Amino acid sequence: MHRYLGEPIIMWEVLLYTYILFMTFSLGASILEVASDLELPGNGPLWHSLRSGCIPEEFRRNLSSNMSHLIGRMMQPSPPTRPTTDDILQCPFIKMVSLLTQCIDQLND
């Protein structure tokens, strides 16, 4: 298919893919903050630690191992090593949450 596309569109696809991988870190950090009920730092040593892939135990303490693992993958320092959106949606933990949400929605209808 790419043989028919101009370079600007191909570059846009690459930029979009890269943007999504950058946003994966942000989503992982947001989930970490909400799930741990701890405020993430805006700067300082802990800020740098989180961006280097080190999530302290105090943030993981109340997380399931599946959630902790997924967040850790989402917050990897190197964007290409982060899971894609499809990877995240295929995670058994996320599938379970989605199924529970659907069940709750059906009960509310």
What the block records as the tokens of 68 is 């902790």
Which pair of tokens denotes residue 83? 């899971």
With contact defined as beta carbons under 8 Å apart, do 50 and 40 qualify? Answer: yes
- The pLDDT of residue 73 is 94
pLDDT in tens, the chain (109 residues): 556 556 666 666 667 767 777 789 999 999 999 999 989 888 899 999 999 999 999 889 989 998 999 999 999 998 889 998 889 988 887 888 788 888 888 888 7
Using a cut of 0.85, tell me whether the model's pTM lies above it: no
Would you put residue 101 in left (φ > 0), alpha (ψ -120 to 50) or beta?
alpha
